[in-house]
Amino acid sequence: MGELNDMTARGDTLTDLASLVLVTGPSGAGRTTALHALEDLGYETIDNLPLSFLSRLLEGTRAERPLALGVDVRTRDFSPDGLVAAMDDVRRLTGAPVQLLYLDADPDTLLRRYSETRRRHPLAPEAGPAMGIAREIELLAPVRALADVLVDTSGLSPNDLRAEMRHWFAVTEGQGLVLSVQSFSYKRGLPRSADLVFDCRFLRNPHWEPELRHLDGRDPPVARFIEGDPRAAEFRERCLSFLRFLVPAYGSEGKSYLTIAFGCTGGWHRSVAMAESVARTLAEEGLPVSIRHRELERLAGRDATAAMPAGSRNDGDGTQ
């Protein structure tokens, strides 16, 4: 993405960009349907734009509509590192909100979709699609972990996916600031999209309780255990007070998205419980809030706890 830096060094004008959504995920997960839905929502959409061309796209006149770009392994010069670098450069040089939408699906669903279309997989054109699907999932794993919005399309119809796009990305005049509350593990790094980060590692740790270790922060016994820490209630109220002060201020400055991240050692118990509690309160107060749990998604897709057998989640909040 050196061309973006060269542009600013030459004094070239970057597009006054409203916002950018990068749409990616494994082939067959629904990227084309998602882009069509975003176009219907008022986005300017471009599919398979080479990342090296992004600088040219951002030159010139003001963009009147938000922009959505489809990017996957078929895109010229695609790489996970290149995609992340492109997002960082656009954020830094335009100041525009940039979101990464990752469309996922389980391997069996992807294989069935390929069988129905009789297409060759781009990563295994001479072999069966199963090999290409496995290679692509492995290649995209770092990108999936960084997603701002992750949608599993395995059980979704095209209409369902379009409804998901409306839920996450509908552009409404005067809708104000949209909040994303996330949980994460410090062991795996800060979410790249985080605007505000709260550290939950001082709260007492359910990982060391054998009956709680296999659960996560969405489970009532874990939430009650954390609430039993005498510091938990004050921490939660201080976070909410801080956000009640900041959210209107960010909104008045024209910011469209605000990502609030809660972290703990493993991203399984304390950060999840606190993110759930804060997000629920903000939603009850009338704010548009979405929530995601990065480590739960990373381990087992959207329904992480349903897919994980008891006792198998020992990379939780512990330090071993």
Residues 6+ apart with CB under 8 A from 16: 62, 63, 94
Q: What is the CATH number of domain 2-169?
A: 3.40.50.300
Residues β-bridged to residue 5: none
The residue type of 182 is Q
Residue 320 and residue 208: Cα distance in Å, rounded? Answer: 11
User: Nearest 5°: phi and psi at 173?
Assistant: -60, 130
User: Long-range contact list for 118-125, CB < 8 A, 24+ apart?
Assistant: 121/27, 122/27, 122/73, 122/74, 123/73
pLDDT along the chain (320 residues), means of 10: 46 59 90 91 87 74 77 82 83 78 90 75 72 86 87 86 84 66 92 89 96 95 96 97 93 78 96 96 90 80 35 40
Q: pLDDT tens, 40-81?
A: 888 889 998 888 787 777 765 566 678 899 988 877 778 888
List the domain boundaries for the chain.
Answer: 2-169, 178-307
pLDDT digits (tens, 9 = 90+) for 94-108: 777 788 899 999 988
Encode pLDDT of 186-221 as tens digits.
998 888 778 899 999 999 999 999 999 999 999 999
